[in-house]
Amino acid sequence: MRLRRLLGSLLPLALAPVALTALGPAALAGEPAGTEVVAHRGASGDAPENTLAAVDEAVAQRADSIEIDVQRSADGHLVVLHDTTLTRTTDVERVFPGRALDPVGSFTLAELRRLDAGSWFGPGFAGQRIPTLDEVVEHIGERAGLLIELKEPAAYPGIEAEVAAELGEQPAGIVVQSFDHDAMRRFAEVAPAVPAGWLFEARPSTAELDDAAATGVEQINPSFRGTDAGLVEAIRSRGMQTGVYTVDDEADMRRMLDAGVDRIITDHPGVLRDVLDG
C-alpha cells in the first residue's frame, strides 16, 4: 500500500535504544537533537485540527513532529479525528440530521467524506475533509515526524493490530501513544519495533513509571501541569523520555524547557519555535 512504500522511503534514524523519537526536520538534516516541537493535531491554533491544512501549517511553523488522533470508520478505515462525535468540528448536523450525536465509528468513510471539517474554524478552510491515516502520512512525507494517538481504542476492538499493519515493519519517524495503557500493551505485542508512548492525565506515580519501563515504553507523556524537573529526572532515570501536552503559553513553555522535557506538544508550534530560537 502507499503508506508502506512511503515509510520504506524514510531515512533511517540512528538513535540509542531509549531515545527513538519521531523524526523531524532537524534529524533529517543531521542537526543535533534538541527539545522536540510537536504540533498538537497539526497547528491547531491556526488551522482546523486533524486536517491536511493543519499539517501544512505545522510544517510551515517548523514543527519537528505532528500529533494526530486515530479512530475507525464503520467500514474499517482508519480516520484522523479527535472527538468521539462529529458535532464540534464538522457540519454533521446539516448533512446528517438526527445523527449529530452518533459516534464516529457508526459512519462509513464515504459518509465522513461528505462532511466539511474546516468551516467551523474559519471560512478560509471550507471544504477541508476528515483524512485517513494513510493520507496524512503520505501528505507529511519526509517533512516531519508523526505522533499517533489511539483515541478511545476500547471502542474499536482490534484497532491496535490494524494500525500496526498499516504502518508496516519499519515505521521510521512514527511513535504511537494512548491514555489506554492496556491497548498500548496490545500494540506492543503486535508492533514491538514501534516506539510507544503512555499518556497520563495526572502526574504518573512511581509504580506507573516502573510499570511503563518494564513494558518497554519509550515516552511518558503527561500533562504539563503536573510536570517538573523531579518528574523528568524520574522518567529519565528509568530510560524513558518526557513529552508534555498541551503547552500554549510562552511562560509555560519556558518552564517546561527549564524542567528538561524532551518534547513539547503545542497548538502553536511557531510560538514554541520562536521561544527555542531565543
**Number of residues that make up the chain:** 278
Q: Which residue has the higher pLDDT, 12 or 155?
A: 155
| Residue 205 CB burial class (10 angstroms; 0-12, 13-18, ≥19) | exposed
Return the pLDDT at 171. 61
C-alpha cell at 107: 459512519
Return the pLDDT at 168. 82
Distance CA 144, CA 65 (A): 5
Domain ranges in the chain are 2-84+130-277
Distance CA 103, CA 55 (A): 24
**Cβ within 8 Å of residue 89, ≥6 positions away:** 48, 49, 50, 81, 82, 83, 117, 120, 121
Residues recognised as catalytic: 40, 82
Task: Place 43 in a pLDDT band, splitting at 50, 70 and 90.
Answer: very high
- Name the average pLDDT for the chain: 90
The pTM score is 0.89
CB 245, CB 224: distance < 8 Å: yes
Return the pLDDT at 27. 40
Q: Does domain 2-84+130-277 have CATH number 3.40.50.11540?
A: no
Task: Place 172 in a pLDDT band, splitting at 50, 70 and 90.
Answer: confident
Question: pLDDT digit string (tens) for 69-119?
Answer: 999 999 999 999 999 999 999 999 999 999 999 999 999 999 999 999 999
Question: pLDDT digit string (tens) for 220-269?
Answer: 999 999 999 999 999 999 999 999 999 999 999 999 999 999 999 999 99
Flag whether pLDDT at 14 surpasses 60: no
* Mean pLDDT to the nearest integer, 41-55: 98
What end-to-end distance do the CA atoms of the chain give, in Å? Answer: 42
